[in-house]
Amino acid sequence: MKGDLVRQSSDGTLTSPKRTFRPRHYLMCEPTFFDVRYSINPWMDPTRPTSTQRGISQWKALHDLLVSLGHTVDLVEPVAGLPDMVYAANAATVVDGRALVARFRHLERADESPAYLNWLQAHGWEPLQATHVNEGEGDFLCAGDVILAGTGFRSEPKSHDEAQEFFGKPVLGLTLTDERFYHLDTALAVLDEGEIMYNPRAFSPQSRGLLAERFPDAILADEADAGVFGLNAVSDGLHVILPEQAKRLPDQLRERGFEPIGVDTTELLKGGGSAKCCTLELRPVRSVRRG
């Protein structure tokens, strides 16, 4: 319950929990070839003007912010003809040094998989090409001891079993029902080990029940903030980077002790992505404590 997250001081006032910054390792791809030439989600409209230069500027601001906060950011070389390669989070899920590489549903993105697989292999990670349709961290989010996995529009339910076997971690399947939130990371963000924020309206009744049971203290986003991709956020346990157009979520995050940082990703949203879509977290092998 919320009382578990909000502490009461000796004078009776309520205080937010102290948050811990944890430096992360991310992989990003500069949107050198960013454009909207086709439509594979409701946000993409090829008739709407798109500025590659504005996309690069917004991406660079996000990149530089992550570096300034103390995170490690590696870059994969963009490939001509792959305008969606900027959404690096969709390329794989990386846990304990192992990477399950995406198998995209749409042909337009298929060639992104070998580009990312080759990079991961060349840089010391252990990649495996997924057998079933699986769109990486777009639909697979690590939340403490469980991986939350989305389905309904992109990743297949069978990919959940594949991920569970590959990573050796339990996978909790969640069904998305609103096509605007076609990936899990557009409807839910992991804030810390066992804390999330999400948009209940994006999920099936059964999935809403599962989330409410497992995360009773979750922050719930309103329709306005969800609609500007406010949940496509990046958290390091203290800082939460999210679209600056989200108005209510920053206050909700501050109440829980987080430090929200707004960024402008409106150009990148034309392709159906924001801060989280642009960052693939590279989780190293966990050290085992002895003694």
- List the one residue out of 133, 71, 38 whose CA is nearest residue 278: 71
Active site positions, annotated: 183, 277
CA distance 203 to 73: 32
Query: Residue 192 class from Cβ within 10 Å (0-12 exposed, 13-18 middle, 19+ buried)?
Result: buried
3-state secondary structure of 131: coil
Helix (H) or strand (E) holding 207: helix 205-214
Tokens 């804030």 found at: 191
| Tokens describing residue 224 | 């306005």
CA distance 218 to 191: 9
